[in-house]
Amino acid sequence: MCADCKAIQKQNISWVIVGDENYGEGSSREHAAMTPRFLGCTAVIAKSFARIHETNLKKQGILALTFDNSEDYGKIHEDDQISISQLDGLSPGKPVECNILHADKTSEKIILNHSYNDLQIEWFRAGSAMNFLRKNQN
């Protein structure tokens, strides 16, 4: 993982990954989702996901989100600040709103979709599937 990610982790700043089509293709191993989690990644926003990798992100408590409008991918720049709202009301089939704050202080909102079911939302809220299981054993 990049040196910038480790520096951000030390500052306790959350960050997101922005990906193109079929994000995670060829990286279905659990560590491909686990490493970003331990470095502070909270979400991956992509045009689409490789199926197994998307499931692994969910198990790690990382939001796997897709652009409602794939052209919105071009609106995000590397120096932008991204805020994802409406997570308290996260529910199956309900889109979330993303606010993009650009370096020039202009902002725009985009809509993001997800494929979470109720159990996967509980994994996210617990921080991971393992945390959920630990919290709910017996």
Domain ranges in the chain are: 3-135
Segment 123-129 long-range contacts (CB within 8 Å, at least 24 positions apart) = 123/58, 123/59, 123/61, 124/58, 124/61, 124/63, 124/90, 126/61, 127/61, 128/37, 128/59, 128/60, 128/61, 129/58, 129/59, 129/60, 129/61
| pTM, to two decimals | 0.90
Average pLDDT, rounded, for the chain:
91
Maximum mean pLDDT: which of 2-11, 30-39, 94-103:
94-103
Would you say residue 53 has pLDDT above 60?
yes
The amino acid that residue 19 corresponds to is G
Does residue 35 or residue 111 have the better pLDDT? 111
The amino acid that residue 17 corresponds to is I
Pseudo-torsion of CA 99, 81, 86, 124, nearest 10°?
140
Q: Do the beta carbons of residue 19 and residue 44 sit within 8 Å?
A: yes
In this prediction, residues 45-58 reach a mean pLDDT of 95
The class level of CATH for 3-135 reads alpha beta
**Among 51, 45, 75, 39, residue whose Cα is nearest residue 63:** 45
